[in-house]
Amino acid sequence: MSKELTKRTKLEIAKSPEGLEGPGFFASKLEDVIGLARANSLWPLPFATSCCGIEFMATMASNYDLARFGSERLSFSPRQADMLMVMGTIAKKMGPTLRQVYEQMAEPKWVLSVGACASSGGIFDTYSVLQGIDRIIPVDVYVPGCPPRPEQIIEGILKIQELAKNESFRRRDSAEYKRMLNSYGME
């Protein structure tokens, strides 16, 4: 069986960034190298409030193993985290806490909204539930599902990795980015 597996498995070798290559040296843009490093060592901060958080546990466990994608180390302090993963229903009363967690994260930071509730309020169209976290913090990638399967969560993280890889070095200093933060009432 193992022979068959090796036969069938198609291995894709990760591409190196664009650059000049010669015997014994490789020259590239610093931006690309940093992007590569950032993308493959994102520290997630799990903000899990309900069933999507259970799917996240499966994502971290051995079957799906998020560590394969460089997110081995969960950060439970926002100050050390790169990626905020919001998984589950956010009640309006939880809103200010979530916002504070986001504001405490250091740039560059990305936000992944996992599941219907975090993305839009989901089935909880009611007076006590925040109708999507993008009302209080900016979101980079949305993962649909109720709850989404671990494969979908991994897909979302891979999308964030793409963002991190291709992000311009000066994006976070740009006027456009500041405008976006200002529209959320942040500096």
Positions touching other proteins (CB under 8 A) are: 92-93, 95, 121, 125-129, 131, 135
- The answer to whether 43 touches 75, Cβ cutoff 8 Å, is yes
Residue whose CB is less far from other proteins, 92 or 149: 92
Backbone φ and ψ for 105, nearest 5 degrees, come out as: -75, 145
Residue whose CB is less far from other proteins, 6 or 128: 128
- The answer to whether 86 touches 110, Cβ cutoff 8 Å, is no
Residue whose CB is less far from other proteins, 128 or 183: 128
Nearest approach, Cβ of residue 98 and other proteins (Å): 13
Report the distance separating Cα 154 and Cα 66, nearest Å: 7
Nearest approach, Cβ of residue 8 and other proteins (Å): 45
Nearest approach, Cβ of residue 119 and other proteins (Å): 12
Strands 25-28 and 141-143: unpaired
- Two tokens at 110? 């990305």
